[in-house]
């Protein structure tokens, strides 16, 4: 059982990012480009791992930051959510534990691995 609080509410601004109000009173904001980069999908996890050891590896081009949008979001059980991005990416399932661990206010830019 996780000790990470669950969200009290989720607010997805499809052009800016996700705001999570946690049960413990904390609030986290995740810009869309950050969520896309930190997707817990297997392909993005592998790419971030490769980037940490090879400076020549680059992230795929998702277009200008102003063009990336969230086109859909859905809850996955009681433990996570899935976001579909305008570039077609939708394979990452963001668990509450993972979202809390990558809170931009509390982590370095690359964040932990899921």
So what's the pLDDT on residue 46?
A: 76
- pLDDT averaged per 10 residues, the chain (length 114): 82 97 96 91 76 66 70 95 93 94 77 45
DSSP 8-state symbol, 8 = E
CATH code for the domain of 67: 3.30.2020.30
Q: Is the pTM of this model over 0.85?
A: no
Residue 12 lies in a domain: yes
Number of other CB atoms surrounding residue 43 within 10 Å: 12
Number of domains in the chain: 1
So what's the pLDDT on residue 12?
A: 97
Number of other CB atoms surrounding residue 46 within 10 Å: 11
So what's the pLDDT on residue 49?
A: 77
So what's the pLDDT on residue 109?
A: 45
Number of other CB atoms surrounding residue 67 within 10 Å: 10
Residue 113 lies in a domain: no
Residue 36 lies in a domain: yes
Residue 39 lies in a domain: yes
Residue 79 lies in a domain: yes
Pairing status of strand 17-22 against strand 7-13: antiparallel
So what's the pLDDT on residue 37?
A: 86
Residue 2 lies in a domain: no
60, 43 in Cβ contact below 8 A?
A: no
């Amino acid at each position: 059982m996780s000790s990470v609080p669950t969200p009290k509410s989720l607010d997805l601004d499809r052009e800016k990012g996700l705001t999570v109000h946690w049960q413990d009173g904390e609030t986290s904001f995740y810009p869309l480009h950050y969520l896309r980069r930190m997707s817990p999908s297997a392909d993005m996890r592998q790419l971030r791992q490769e980037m940490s050891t090879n400076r020549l590896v680059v992230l795929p081009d998702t277009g200008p930051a102003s063009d990336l949008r969230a086109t859909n979001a859905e809850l996955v059980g009681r433990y996570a959510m899935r976001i579909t991005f305008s570039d077609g990416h939708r394979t990452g399932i963001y668990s509450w534990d993972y979202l809390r661990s990558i809170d931009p206010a509390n982590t370095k830019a690359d964040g932990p691995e899921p």
